[in-house]
Chain A
Amino acid sequence: MADHLVIHRAGLSAVQDLGRFGRSRFGLPVNGALDQFSARVANVLVGNDESAPLVEITMLDFSCTPSTDVLLAVTGAPAEITVGGIRRPQWEPTAVRAGETVTIGGIRLGARVYLALRGSVAAPSLLGSCAPDTILGFGRSLRDDDELAIGSGVPPIDHPVLRHPVFRLGVPVPGFREPWTIDVTDGPDVAEFGASATRLFDAEYTVSPQSNHIGLRMRGDVPQREARGEVLSRGVPVGAVEVPAGEELLVLHRGRGVTAGYPVLAVVTATGLCALGQVRPGQRVRFRKRSVAEAVTAHRAQRDVLRALRQRASTLFDALRLPMPTTSAPASETP
């Protein structure tokens, strides 16, 4: 029997990666982890490639038991992590013995938690990615009592008696605070909104329950488009803040269809999309205007954080003489 995780409580969870890149010309959305920073950090903390498949857990409690010793990391929204009944820190690598139960519960303030295992997890792949595409009906959603195949285990690396976590990599953890501040730049159609465009930055918006990985609907004081007329479908980027005729904003996320016909008032920045990927239905959002240059600088600063973290993690794993995990997913399943 190959090494695996037994999933006890799946909640709302699925195997995820950073997305299906390079397929938008065929009409496929990129999809992938909605909070890319947290997903990347989880993989870096266990020495995986940043794009390795991992588990994305949305809001509901999750628990599982590995069949072998593993090293895992949990990032994303604040939650309580226990291993064999003992509290363990989030945003740090955590050693788990074969047969110990891992619980992730009480997810709060944000919507999504990421669970990475050193050596990664198995998932069917479509066009180079395991990212679920709900419209295509593709992806590995987890269910109670599922077995999820995992990469090779690791030797036990915490203290056999005291069980102190041996790792302190010190990730700068992003803030999880409501109302959320989401950075945006001007969109290509901002001129169509005239003076009403600035309402976007004065108003507070409430995220509606009809929100998901495709897009978030938000109620509030919506800017009004002055221009009228037929819009031909055209490519819209992930992060597009669209203004349909009604009383809601529509903010597109990674599962968005690649073409649309509504005017694009603003575009959420790369770092803003990570935060937006954590916003829960019912929470409040404020938009903050950034220049393109400021947004690029913020994104690059986040990548620098990842690079530095990868360096520290690699030093640690070298010191422990842990074998490097394979770069690809284990025994990848076919769809």
Chain B
Amino acid sequence: MRQHVAIVDCGDSAVVVKAVHDDADHRWRAVHALADALEEARLSGVHGLVPTYDSLLVEFDCADTDHRTVRRALEDALDQLGEIPAERPSKLFVVPVVYGGEHGPDLPEVADQLGLTERGVIELHSGTTLTVRCLGAPVGAPMMDGPPFPAPVARLASPRTSVPPGSVAVAGAQAVICPMRSPGGWPLLGRTPLRVLDLDSERLAPYRPGDRFRFVPIRPEQWDEHAGAPLVAADG
């Protein structure tokens, strides 16, 4: 496994593991398996793990441990991983979305950019099941592979200072739901009336990496039917 990653220092309190395997799915599974292994190892001083699509950030207190110890733990974990474990069982979340209009102000611009009709963008975004690759910014957002658009989507030239909760956005070859009101530079296609996070639960978010999302277009007048309902898996 060691030959499939590069480990670099990232300041005095972090290292980054970058997976370099040819296959994107392999890279993703490698960084998450590595994060699992490191969590299991309970290394003193390590307090933050951020596995994403193809990289793992390990944050630590450099008074309690050091780069060499963390690197060695990562290398040990890589040796023990051997073959990358197969995919774990995943849940499916079905998410109603009001596309366009006030809820998805960037839909026309994204359609333009991609040379598609607005309807075409909606069909691609809602016609594919998207896999959650990690929980990221802002606060536990499900970060997914983007829909099969013909080209990457550019980020906004000037980020919004406030994106409403439930906003459904895309950028590059990625897709996301913004769980809470926050600043954001991703073009907004629509918005779900569901409540994404549960502040009373230990995990905050009901989904985890590997789970799948399917977006279902709804009409603006159907918003109230779903407003404030918690996001729950369709398959239990």
Contact = CB atoms under 8 A, between A and B. Distances in A.
Binding between chains A and B: yes
A21 B199 contact: no
A28 interface: yes
Among B48, B55, B157, B181, chain A packs the most CB atoms within 10 A around the CB of B48
B67 A257 contact: no
A236 B49 CA distance: 10
Interface stretch (A103-111, A146-154, A263-271): A263-271
A24 B152 CA distance: 27
B199 A126 contact: yes
A268 B16 CA distance: 16
A313 interface: no
A235 B56 contact: yes
Main SS class of interface, A: loop
A300 interface: yes
Interface string A224-236: 0000001111111
Counting contact residues on chain B (CB < 8 A from A), the size range is: 35 or more
Interface string B7-19: 0111111101000
B231 interface: no
A258 B137 contact: yes
A299 B64 CA distance: 10
Given A260-B137, A295-B12, A234 B54 contact: yes
Contacts of B204: 26-28, 127
A259 B52 contact: yes
Contact of B59 (A24, A188, A234, A260): A24
Interface string B135-171: 1111111010000000010010100000000000001
B180 interface: yes
A258 B137 CA distance: 6
B57 A269 contact: no
Contacts of B234: none
Nearest to A300: B63
Nearest to A214: B183
A232 B53 contact: yes
B66 interface: yes
Contacts of A240: 11
B16 A188 contact: yes
Given A185-B12, A292-B67, A27 B140 contact: yes
Nearest to B135: A27
A258 B174 CA distance: 16
Contacts of A292: 9, 11-12, 67
Contacts of B13: 237-239, 270, 299
Among A137, A184, A230, A299, chain B packs the most CB atoms within 10 A around the CB of A230
Contact of A235 (B16, B61, B157): B16
Contacts of B14: 237, 267
Contacts of A26: 135, 140, 203-205
Nearest to A231: B172
Contacts of B59: 24, 30, 237-238
A136 B199 contact: yes
Interface of B: 8-14, 16, 35, 39, 47-57, 59, 61-63, 66-67, 134-141, 143, 152, 155, 157, 171-174, 180-182, 197, 199, 202-205
Interface of A: 21-22, 24-30, 126-127, 133, 135-138, 184-185, 187-188, 230-240, 245, 256-261, 264, 267-270, 292, 295-296, 299-300, 303, 335
25 contacts: A21-B47, A22-B48, A24-B50, A25-B39, A26-B204, A27-B134, A127-B202, A135-B138, A187-B10, A232-B54, A234-B54, A235-B16, A235-B56, A236-B57, A245-B157, A257-B138, A257-B139, A258-B136, A259-B137, A267-B12, A267-B14, A270-B61, A296-B67, A299-B12, A299-B13
